[in-house]
Amino acid sequence: MKAQNYDRPNIDIAWCPGCGNFAILKILKQALAELAIPPQNLVITSGIGQAAKTPHYLQTHIFNGLHGRALPAATAIKAANPQLTVIAEGGDGDMYGEGGNHFMHTIRRNPDLTHLVHNNMVYGLTKGQASPTSQRGLVTPLQIDGVCQEPFNPLSVAIALNASFVARVFVGAFEQGVAVFKAAIQHHGYALVDILQPCVTFNKLNTYAWFEEHTYPLENSHDPGSREQAFARACEMERLPLGIFYRSQDRKVFEKQLSAYREDQRPLYQRPLESTKLQNLLDTNRSL
């Protein structure tokens, strides 16, 4: 396999020193390099936020859109050209807050893409207010008495909706992170990886030390083929399990069910343009 280089030279990375995003970028680069995915065959979509800047720091194709809208773009890109490796990337606010609707319906569709969510349990770009995953008691400039709401549990929601791949990693566990990223990218169907990371500037509760104390790896006895067991582990909140919770190939992939691919398996962009059909379409539109 030919080594791939995803580095962009002379790029000013706009993250705080010590931010967990640096580790995520390193894990992603290592996983892509070990899989030997050519940069020209990779597309990463993102929305708005610190995590959503990640594609800007990679030498590959990117689509940067509105807050919470990375998944619809990723789904469309994969449907138009299934030969591409497609990753949607963003933060917990971007994906579970503004993009919560798309999160649920992407799971329903099951497109063949990887969903990487940087989960620092706070809004880092907009100065530290609580996000959907913020822990109870977290004090922020807006939640001055501490967060009182139940934190959103993306893993239990994904498993309940029968997502075909669900995992969680921590940026402090590099080797496990690379292994899980690779497994998610190679999975045929929708793959969620929730990535625990500290926000060193705005989240003084969920620090590197806090995550070290409140996480543990799923043992070998865990069966990722059991949806019931995966859901039970996802509901653990005192200490957060790390690893692959659930994996299934029983569901059909979204783009394989589209009528456009039933007669011809070539991507849409490789098919000859039939001028008569196009002209008929244009004529029809003009008559409306």
Mean pLDDT of all residues in 95-106: 92
Mean pLDDT of all residues in 98-102: 88
Which of the two residues, 125 and 31, has the higher pLDDT score? Answer: 31
In single-letter form, the type of residue at position 32 comes to L
Model pLDDT for residues 33-69, shown as the tens digit of each residue: 999 999 999 999 999 988 999 999 999 999 998 888 9
Model pLDDT for residues 196-222, shown as the tens digit of each residue: 999 999 989 899 999 999 999 998 889
**Beta strand 240-247 with 215-217: parallel, antiparallel or unpaired?**
parallel
Give how far the C-alpha of residue 199 lies from the chain's centroid of Cα atoms, to the nearest Å.
18
- This prediction has a pTM of 0.90
Asked if 39 and 9 count as a contact pair (C-beta separation under 8 A), the reply is no
Quick one: pLDDT band at residue 275, thresholds 50, 70, 90?
A: low
Q: Order the strands of the 114-119 sheet from edge to edge.
A: 61-64, 42-46, 85-91, 114-119, 191-196, 165-170, 240-247, 215-217
Check if CATH label 3.20.20.70 holds for domain 20-287: no
| Least confident interval from 7-16, 17-26, 147-156, 170-179 | 7-16
Model pLDDT for residues 148-199, shown as the tens digit of each residue: 888 999 999 999 999 999 999 999 999 999 999 999 999 999 999 999 999 9
Distances (CA, A) of 159 to 22, 138, 227, 233, 278: 28, 27, 7, 11, 43
